[in-house]
Amino acid sequence: MFVGYVLKKTASGTTSYIVESPSGGISKTTDKSQATIFPSKAKIKKGKDHAPKKTSGFIIEELSKSEPNPGVTSDPIPMPAQQTKEIQSEDMSKRIVFPQETRMSVYNQSEGRCVYCGRFIPFDEMTIDHIVPLSKGGTNYEKNLQCCCKECNLMKQDLLERDFCELPIPCGTVVSMEGASDSRNNYSSLTRRFWLFVPIRAYSLMPLSL
């Protein structure tokens, strides 16, 4: 399954990778797990055009992972040893910084849309929601992670999905059906499952203009 692209360059036996900050700054790392994963070649071109000297000589490498067997439940995708050890430690409730590969996989599962409100989220603005919160026994395994916008994640906090869906729409917000009509049919199974709980919750938070 396609994950994304990285920019790499090998010189004198050392391979370096490009890291792009949220503000667009370019730096280099020899740790592949820290490399920026670009969702498209157009994004790579934009980054190289922004910093042609720093990206000179770097080539594109496509990242992918094996398609899961539908009849087999897999736990985490391969991660650096240190992070794997942390995830599999006795304290499964400990929050971690997920590697780019995991974030991109979660992002692609919902086609870049929040599983709750259906709104499209730029990759660098995505937050990761735990389906079963860590405080309620959830894990950091990928099967317990989903793409979520910041607003919905802040509202859900450590609630279970079913409890979150029972919350009233907060005072001082208006309902926006942006991206909602299609999410019932076209987005992830998580989104469709959410719609079964409360059909009106496809909204994004916007302050009222008084």
Mark 20-56 as b/e (b = at least 16 C-beta within 10 Å): beeeeebebeeebeebbbbbeeebbeebbeeeeeebe
For residues 127 and 155, give the distance between their C-alpha atoms in angstroms, rounded to a whole number. Answer: 12
For position 67, what pLDDT does the model report?
Answer: 46
User: Does pTM surpass 0.75?
Assistant: no
Mean pLDDT of 36-44: 87
Highest average pLDDT, of 16-20, 114-118, 132-136, 189-193, comes from 16-20
pLDDT band of 138, cuts 50, 70, 90: confident
Q: How does DSSP assign 16-68, residue by residue?
A: EEEEE-TTS-EEEES-GGGS--BSSHHHHHHHHHHSTTTTTT-EEEEEE-PPP
Domain chopping of the chain, boundaries: 2-64, 81-197
| Range of lowest pLDDT (9-18, 113-122, 163-172) | 163-172
For position 118, what pLDDT does the model report?
Answer: 86
For position 175, what pLDDT does the model report?
Answer: 39
For residues 40 and 4, give the distance between their C-alpha atoms in angstroms, rounded to a whole number. Answer: 7
For position 77, what pLDDT does the model report?
Answer: 45
pLDDT digits (tens, 9 = 90+) for 47-106: 889 889 999 999 999 887 654 444 333 444 444 444 444 444 334 445 677 888 888 889
For position 92, what pLDDT does the model report?
Answer: 45
